[in-house]
Structure 1
């Protein structure tokens, strides 16, 4: 009889120990999940903060943060073909619509009409060459690209004769040019951007 009692006592003790072991394992796993959750949340939070800082510190002169009128930008470029160059550039002013067309026609009566749904934008740029590896430094309107607000490039070549002064010159160190560059854009394009090298300019901004 005593043996039977001792057997049940030992059996009860083993069952209790097994139950305690399962409970500890579940708590440990739950704590581990919580710790992982905290790490994920912290990483996500830091990522959001970094993205916000990057957005706020968007590099000046990019497509998302183009150069406005009247703002001088200091540019240093390195070209494997033409060498290094350092210059200062500014979009002085721009005109569009009827005023631009009137100026185009006054420059030369044989200049083309813009066409249906199109309009001219005439932008006056200034460039001062500070330092250059290979002289002379060529400046001309064909070096510009123009991109619509939707991100599509305008591929048509625009030629307007008689603009005075024209943004075209061979510059040497210390030289400066100020002149007009013609662009042809969709009349309903609210934010066409001009790109010179790696620098973007807001053609309609004031």
Structure 2
């Protein structure tokens, strides 16, 4: 075996190890409401697929790019969301039969890192029954600013609304995706 082949195999193995170590999640302890009991973590860490975080609970995601804090601050769905969307712009599409609008207000903070980080609404997916739904192309009302596409540096933050079209009346998980993989989940 020549040196080039050995070097290629070593690089591939290092890449596999790094991909397996891409992110780590946790929640901020001071974000847990005092009126709710703290749940015992019997499955995955809080904010994982097995143990999703709740609305208004901040999930801390550690990646190779830095540490991010992600919070779903509010949500509107169903008929109320439909009315908001249609009142904003009559050309916004109607959901297909069996689907409804879901509006989520998300805060994304770049807590720690060394370089800039690009983030947009398309870094988020709405998952239902194992299927991911990308943000919908709609015009939102002026009093509900959309989640902007931005580059953040450490301590930078963006906050705004994201619209999804999801299956009607089903449980939904909002996921932040890093390098095309969901790394944290928040239950709606």
In the superposition, the TM-score normalised over structure 2's length comes to 0.68
Question: Of Structure 1 and Structure 2, which has the larger fraction of its residues in helix?
Answer: 1
Q: Please give the secondary structure, in 2, of the residue aligned with 1:101.
A: helix
What is the alpha-carbon distance in structure 1 between the residues aligned to residue 84 and residue 151 of structure 2? 25
Alignment gaps of 5+ in structure 1: 1-53, 79-83
Aligned residues: 141
Which aligned runs of 4 or more in structure 1 are off by greater than 3 angstroms? none
Q: Please give the secondary structure, in 1, of the residue aligned with 2:50.
A: coil
For the 8 Å contact 1:120–1:183, the answer to whether it is kept is: yes
In the superposition, the TM-score normalised over structure 1's length comes to 0.62
For the 8 Å contact 1:124–1:178, the answer to whether it is kept is: yes
1:118 aligns with 2:74: no
For the 8 Å contact 1:91–1:123, the answer to whether it is kept is: yes
What is the alpha-carbon distance in structure 2 between the residues aligned to residue 110 and residue 64 of structure 1? 38
Q: Which residue of 1 aligns with 2:140?
A: 162
In the TM superposition, what whole-angstrom CA distance separates every residue of 1:58-100 from its partner, at most 9, and x where no partner exists?
A: 211111211101111222111xxxxx11121111111101111
Larger radius of gyration: 1
1:152 aligns with 2:138: no
Q: Please give the secondary structure, in 2, of the residue aligned with 1:62.
A: coil
Question: Of Structure 1 and Structure 2, which has the larger fraction of its residues in strand?
Answer: 2
**CA-CA distance at 1:153 after TM superposition:** 2.9
